[in-house]
Structure 1
Amino acid sequence: MAAGGHRGRASPRRRRDPPGLPVPPLRREAAVTPEIAVIGGGPAGSIAACALARAGRRVVLLEREREPRHKICGEFVSIEAQGALAQVGIDPAALGGAPIDMVRLVHGESAAESPLPFRAYGFTRRRLDEALLDAARAHGAEVIRGASVRRLHAADDGFRIEAEGSEDLSAGTVFLATGKHDLRGFKRDTAGTRDSLVGFKTYFRLPPGERRALAGAIEVILFAGGYAGLQLVEEGIANLCLLVEADRFEALGRSWDALFAHLLATCPHLDRRLGDAEPVLDKPLAIARVPYGFLHRPAGDEPHGLFRLGDQAAVIPSFSGDGMAIAMHSGRLAARTYLEQGRAASLFHARLRRDVGPQVRLAGALYAASRSGLGRRALVAACRLWPGGLRVAAERTRVPVHARLA
């Protein structure tokens, strides 16, 4: 059945919860010159701002959203991410995160599962990002909400930033943490990556029996033309995050309702979990052309002092569940490089490629293997014969222990 119990029909609309009080943007009387400007208040940007401000540097963090918002993300907080959060005083369990100890790989009616080599947590980016912005303020960074950066101008001695919601400001160094969205004039060179996938993310209230069956697990469901991830987040809500090939989505009329109905009709596991579930959002969040496999290599003309963080630096296939951990690692590594080496961003980017390149490439190879029906069947069959293979894959797609920062 389609969500809400109407098989094949559009998901029922649900009234949004009343929005919180708007947070007015902070207006400046005149342009100022912080030492570092961080553009983007997600996990990468906020973690970097915490580290820099804690070291006594003057940091301004520009976040375009004026109030908490949901973001496209699988919302799986792995062991490395937990270490980064602990460094800034955030306890995932105290935030109400749903514990995750098991991974389950599904194709058709066949499934394989294994304990994870660590305890993970699931909670929404809406809640996590707010906790991180609060931490950045507590560590001494100035956080400006509602500041949408429109242009970044580079010069030999730094940068000038034009933003709606804030007066222009200048900074000696910029940490670019805008996630999957490129800033005009500073587009990533994504040649050679796989960017033909369309991503969706939404939430469901599951029937009690299905919620109990999902509790404690992250499920990766393989299907023709893509894959989905399903897990619980805070308050027992289920996060569904999926990727589908653009041509498959095109064949379904570029309609979320048609895609969702198709998945329930062709994926028995998703039908069982979501057929009678209640959608939480009016419509899913969506994104296209995410460059999976991207690893940033600065061009010769890239400005000195421009540090790219998170998805601006590395994009791992999302089924690995390590995107947020890589983002936080990049924020900590960029801050440490700046504090020890100054504006030498190229040193940071080279180190980050060494740290995360192997798991980005491994995750890409695993996704490539899942693109054919034979490959999907073989992956699940192999993991049923050797359940430890799922555990090994989880270990090998983490930021390696030797690279993690204390």
Structure 2
Amino acid sequence: MSRRHDALVVGGGLAGAALARQLAAAGRDVLLLERQSGPHDKVCGEFLSGEAVLYLRRLGLDPAALGALPLDSLSIAGRGEAGRCCRLPFPAFSLSRRRLDEALLAHAAAAGAELRRGAGVRVLERDGNGNGWQARLEDGSRVQAREAFLATGKHDLRGWRRPPGRQPDLLGFKLHLRLARQQAMALGRGVEIGLFPGGYAGLQPVEGGRANLCLLVRRGAFAALGGQWPALLAAITASCPHLARRLSGAMPLWERPLAIAAIPYGFVQRGSDGCWRLGDQAAVIPSFAGEGMSIALHSAHLAAACHLRGEDAAAFQHRLAHDVGPLVARATLLSRLLVRPGGQALLLGAARALPFALSAAASLTRLPRHALRGTGLNPAEALARLA
């Protein structure tokens, strides 16, 4: 059996790597386990709100230096030809998860965290005396720690499954593309949402001249199309001419899209099972609300602060649920509307009739200011500097 670490962090995504970096920088003995052996992509909208950028800069990372692209507009389109567009009411950026996650992992290791890659966890449990934790890895080895932090993203660890959320019937897909030159110029620095029967898709530029197409679709709608990606893509472009035009002549950069199922969208961990749950293991906000990465980084910051003050996992989960519960609920309500015909018609009508409707909807799903005060910055002033 290896030495007993102060903290075992399971999962090297945004939440896990950010937490490991902060605890290691504070002098804690941190073991960070990441099951993937190398850089990889994830099903994610890759949207960084200003709040996420504040947290990254506090960690010592500058998204612009990593190639993040500024975003300045939001549009939504359905069966009509023209998308309804507005200026984003807050600063935002776009950066691929492959690049951002790698930068954070390197940052955690540089701060002193022990990083093990290709280290999947098979079993996580309390140790025999109940005063710490032990994990059995897929290679048969075991590790021990005083505290365990679960940050495995949208994937559940065996024995630590989250309950269904308020909207558990969605499938997620993601594909990077290279748009035709004219369409890439037309997309510019915008985020475009296209509605189709049973779901919605988001398109935005990412670094390297690429575009990220990420979408959610109801399980039943996908099954009705034979459960095939080409049929789904054809249905999307047939239902949304605006998105069809953007994708005309586009070259897929991957052989097939990434896919994920059984996601408990709308879930918020309110109680405590003893383990510190971060990121999507604590709160799952529907994609395109724009705050998924901010919530992950916020959970890492809050967990580090609580742990270093000597608070327990229960106190942390309560505070995190207080911070993010309302915005997850609002985003889930919006997502429910986006995947239903009546809701889609309602939202498109509101976008046509009320010029401020899109920007208002975007603003309703942001981290509250009281949650950001722990960054040590004045949120209003800091976000104004980003704009």
Alignment TM class, shorter chain as reference: over 0.9
Question: Which residue does the alignment assign to 1:177?
Answer: 151
CA contact (8 A) 2:265 2:332 kept: yes
1:398 aligned partner, one-letter code: R
Identity between Structure 1 and Structure 2 (%): 48
Counterpart of 1:297 in structure 2 is 270
**1:121-200 matched pairs, under 5 angstroms:** 121-155=93-127, 156-165=130-139, 167-190=141-164, 193-200=166-173
Distance 1:170 1:258, change over 3 A: same
Partner of residue 78, structure 2: 107
String of CA shifts for 1:277-306, please: whole Å, max 9, x gaps: 00000000000111110001336xx23xx1
How many residues end up aligned between the 2 structures? 371
The answer for the alignment partner of 2:280 in structure 1 is: 311
Q: CA deviation at 1:106?
A: 1.4
Distance change (3 Å), C-alpha of 1:402 and 1:103: same
Amino acid corresponding to residue 59 of structure 1 in structure 2: V
**How much does 1:166 deviate?**
7.7
- Residues 38 and 177, structure 1, Cα contact 8 Å, conserved in 2: yes
SS of alignment partner, residue 172 of structure 1: strand
2: CA distance, partners of 1:165 / 1:76:
35
Does the CA contact (< 8 Å) of 2:162 and 2:264 recur in 1? Answer: no
TM-score (norm 2): 0.93
Paired with 1:336 and 1:46, the residues of 2 have a C-alpha distance of 15
1:370 aligns with 2:370: no
Give the conservation status (yes or no) of the 8 Å contact 2:4–2:145. yes
Alpha carbons 2:218, 2:339 under 8 Å: kept: no
Cα distance in structure 2, aligned partners of 1:234 and 1:371 = 29
- Confirm whether residue 216 of structure 1 aligns to residue 184 of structure 2: no
Deviation of 1:60 (Å): 0.8
Tell me, in whole angstroms, the C-alpha distance in 1 between the residues paired with 2:359 and 2:234. 32
The amino acid that maps onto 2:203 is L
1:389: how far off? 2.1
Q: C-alpha distance in 1, partners of 2:185/2:209? A: 9
* Structure 1: runs of 5+ lacking an equivalent: 1-29
Amino acid at match of 1:153: E
- Matched to 1:172, the amino acid is R
Q: Is the 8 A contact 2:180 2:248 kept in 1?
A: no
Inter-partner Cα distance in structure 2 for 1:281 and 1:177: 27
SS at the partner of 1:67? coil
Provide Cα deviations, 1:245-285, integer angstroms capped at 9, x if missing partner.
11111111111111112212222112101121000000000
Give the whole-Å Cα distance in 2 for the aligned partners of 1:87 and 1:167.
Answer: 35
Tell me the distance in 1 between the aligned counterparts of 2:176 and 2:187.
14
Q: Whole-Å Cα distance in 1 between the matches of residues 103 and 14 of structure 2?
A: 10
AA of the residue aligned to 2:105: L
Q: In structure 2, what is the equivalent of residue 89 of structure 1?
A: 60
Q: What residue in structure 2 maps to residue 340 of structure 1?
A: 309
Query: SS at 1:319's partner residue?
Result: coil
Distance 1:270 1:32 in 2: 54
1:263-278 pair list within 5 angstroms: 263-278=236-251
- Most deviating of 162-171 and 349-358: 162-171
Q: Secondary structure at the match of 1:35?
A: strand
**TM-score relative to the length of structure 1:** 0.89
- Bigger drift between 362-371 and 90-99 goes to 362-371
1:322 aligned onto 2:294: no
> Separation in 2 of the partners of 1:159 and 1:56?
20
Determine if contact 1:113/1:384 at 8 Å carries over to the other structure.
Answer: no
Match of residue 378 from structure 2: none
SS at match of 2:246: helix
2:89 counterpart (102, 117, 120): 117
Q: Confirm whether residue 331 of structure 1 aligns to residue 305 of structure 2.
A: no
> In structure 2, what is the equivalent of residue 14 of structure 1?
none
Measured against aligned partners, the alpha-carbon deviations of 1:5-59 in whole angstroms (never above 9, x if no partner) come to: xxxxxxxxxxxxxxxxxxxxxxxxx512110010000000011111111111111
Q: For the residues of structure 1 that align with 2:201 and 2:139, how far apart are their CA atoms?
A: 37
Out of 23, 26, 30, which is 1:52 matched to? 23
Question: Secondary structure of the equivalent of 2:346?
Answer: helix
Alignment check: 8 A CA contact 1:201 1:239 kept: yes
Runs of at least 5 residues in structure 2 that lack an aligned partner in the other structure: 376-387
Q: Distance in 2 between matches of 1:166 and 1:146?
A: 13
CA RMSD of aligned residues (A): 1.4
In the alignment, the residues of structure 1 paired with residue 367 and residue 347 of structure 2 have an alpha-carbon distance, to the nearest angstrom, of 23
C-alpha distance in structure 1 between counterparts of 2:161 and 2:358, whole Å:
35
Q: Does 1:390 align with 2:358?
A: yes
Task: Sort the Cα spacing of 1:272 and 1:183 in 2 relative to 1 into closer, same or farther, 3 A.
Answer: same
Q: Which residue does the alignment assign to 2:233?
A: 260
